[in-house]
Structure 1
Amino acid sequence: MLVGAAVYLIGLWNAQMQLNEKGYYFTILMYGLFSAISLQKSVRDRLEDIPVTGLYYMLCWLSLGLAIGLLAVGLWNAAITDSEKGFYAMAFLLSLFGAIAVQKNVRDLQAAFRHEPLTQPLQS
């Protein structure tokens, strides 16, 4: 997650575009990361029978779709080269994947530490 976000932000910092465009792409990255983490959490909660309202679950999916869609529209209309567009798209998707993986691993570690280790060997 950090690699994808850092590369995206470094590219954005060095980009030859107006400040309002940089702000748009920065906001899309933050919105995308938040929505990906929120969606992963709500999906995991449902799998573990933790109550999640249907409305919140659908809003998570909608938010992630909107973040990806807004990036796609922004890049489609951007006055930058195709290689730059590909760079931003791949760094964005790498960041989203990393955010989901980090959230999953943190939750798995927390679940592992909640269980106490066996003090007696199992008998068959």
Structure 2
Amino acid sequence: MSAKPSNAYTISSWVAFIAGVAGYFIGLFRAEMELNEKGYYLTVMLFALFSAISVQKSVRDKEEFIQVSNLYYGISWFSLIASIALLTLGLFNAEILPSEKGFYAFGFLLSIFSAITIQKNTRDKISYENNN
């Protein structure tokens, strides 16, 4: 595949990423939680972003017949699933309003989705430039 992503798609991916991450972090900063709880949610978000990008890269590498070890591929998926499970567990047990729980969940999911999309767009753009 050597199609260059459109500027609109690239920009909308970045806008979604900024909105998701900024909303999550602003909500976290303003939350009335203990510092250790805030640290938990911060770490889970960073872990999720890294693992989501890692999953996208390893899946794409396999599709393009670039060697990826099964161990790395499995750890990438495990990390993403673990980060989602950790956020779910944390929000389930958190003593915050249900609307706040939903806010964090949607900011988290938007951030993960847009991080994957940004990685895809970056890789598509590089592939397009190398083929043309």
TM-score by length of 1: 0.92
Quote the Cα distance in structure 1 between the aligned partners of 2:129 and 2:112. Answer: 26
Aligned match for 1:42, one of 42, 52, 58: 58
Match of 1:53 among 64, 69, 78: 69
Runs of 4+ in 1 over 3 A off after TM superposition: none
Distance 2:87 2:51 in 1: 14
Tell me what 1:105 maps to: 121
- Aligned counterparts of 2:74 and 2:120: Cα–Cα separation in 1: 20
Higher helix fraction (1 or 2) = 2
Which position in structure 1 is the counterpart of 2:81?
65
- Secondary structure of 2:77's counterpart equals helix
Which of residues 34, 37, 43 is equivalent to 1:27?
43
Gaps of 5+ in 1: 117-124
- Tell me the residue number matched to 2:19: 3
The alpha carbon displacement at 1:2 in A equals 1.8
From 86, 91, 95, the counterpart of 1:79? 95
Distance in 2, matches of 1:115 and 1:70, equals: 41
Q: Which has the larger radius of gyration?
A: 1
How many corresponding residue pairs? 116
2:3 maps to: none
Match of 1:18 among 22, 34, 38: 34
AA at the equivalent of 2:114: G
CA–CA separation in structure 1 for the residues paired with 2:22 and 2:127: 29
Match of 1:96 among 92, 112, 125: 112
> RMSD across aligned C-alpha pairs, in angstroms?
0.5
Aligned partner of residue 80 in structure 1, secondary structure: coil
Which letter maps to 1:104?
K
Identity of counterpart residues, as a percentage? 55
Q: Which blocks of at least 5 consecutive residues in structure 2 are unaligned?
A: 1-16
Matched ranges for 1:113-124 at <5 A: 113-116=129-132
1:15-49 Cα deviation digits (max 9, x unpaired): 01011100000000000000000000000000000
Q: Could you tell me the TM-score, scaled by structure 2's length?
A: 0.87
**Alpha-carbon displacement from aligned partner over 1:56-107 (angstroms, at most 9, x marks no partner):** 1011110000000000000000000100000000000000000000000000
